[in-house]
Amino acid sequence: MDFRRHSRITKVYALGVGACARGAVDKNELKYVYHQDGQQFIQVLPTFASLLALEYSSHLADLPGLSYDPRLLLHGQQYIEIYRPLPSSCCVRFLITSSECKAAVVDYEVVSYEKESGKPLCMNRMSVYLRGAGGFSKSSQPISYAKYPANQILASKVPNRQPFTALLYRLSGDYNPLHSDPTIAEVAGFSRPILHGLCTLGFAIRAIIKCICGGDPNLIKAISGRFLLHFYPGETLITEMWLEGLRVLYQVKVKERNRTVLSGFVDISRLSSAL
């Protein structure tokens, strides 16, 4: 994938997850869409890494013995490791290191490298639910979130105390038919199109960067999120955060339904001096 001539995609992504939504000259977020104060490169939000591996979801049907209706695919869980700050312009190559089919759940992992230097940029590990699928054989070398270190698994409980901070967001649609086509949404069992979970994740992590990291996206080391419930564009999201050492626990709720749609954690390299 060549981003050398298309660095604007990083700006479009930032706008898509709400950067500068509260003001076109927001000094904390202008750096994601504009060369602010003479900076040489646009800064890239760490959740942009999720887009680098997203296209491989469309190739799941190529797995031997796997048959499913793509309209019924739902994203279940996302884990991202950031090895170094993402450049706004480069050529990227990918390596799918593992995949496993478990009943109607597929886990796979994609490592993204800068093609010219060969250095790794980030790793994505994803779980998707293929509703209506199943009955296929297990992988000869199965992988599972259970085989990874405990600190990479979403096992933390939300603390029974007031959140560190809370922010409200309004989200909008997505180009995936499930998120824009009422007919496709109805087939999938929703009353109307829903927002993609990765977009919700982008809003949540952007809030953490702004409130916990003092606006510095390079403090983010790893991101884990579990998509728990659908979100309808036009509803109000509340992002709650709890700081425990160098880990930020978070959950995102729909205000109107008082339901949690996303929860997870973010590991940071150090505390911001702004805290």
**Nearest-angstrom CA–CA distance, 147 and 168:** 36
Mean pLDDT, residues 122-130: 87
Tell me if 250 sits within 8 A of 240, measured CB to CB: yes
Rounded (to 5) percent helix, strand, coil in the chain: 25, 30, 45
Residue 27's CB: how many other CB atoms inside 10 A? 10
Position 55 scores a pLDDT of 65
Quote the mean pLDDT of the chain: 78
169-214 residue pLDDT tens: 223 334 467 777 788 888 888 888 788 788 899 989 999 999 999 9
Q: Which residue has the tokens 């990291």?
A: 213
Mean pLDDT, residues 46-58: 79
Ranges 119-133, 147-161, 165-179: which has the least confidence: 165-179
- Environment class of residue 31 by beta-carbon count within 10 Å: exposed (0-12), middle (13-18) or buried (19+)? buried
Return the C-alpha torsion angle 135, 53, 222, 26, nearest 10: -130
**Nearest-angstrom CA–CA distance, 200 and 206:** 10
Ranges 32-46, 129-143, 184-198, 227-241: which has the least confidence: 129-143
Check residues 204 and 25 and name the one with the higher pLDDT: 204
Check residues 23 and 229 and name the one with the higher pLDDT: 229
Strands annotated E in 32-160: 73-82, 92-102, 105-114, 120-130
Position 267 scores a pLDDT of 97
Which two three-digit tokens encode residue 267?
Answer: 């590991």
Judging by DSSP bridges, how do beta strands 105-114 and 120-130 pair with one another?
A: antiparallel
Check residues 58 and 71 and name the one with the higher pLDDT: 71
Position 37 scores a pLDDT of 64
Give me the active site residues, please.
174, 179, 194, 197
Check residues 79 and 145 and name the one with the higher pLDDT: 79
pLDDT of residue 83 exceeding 90: yes
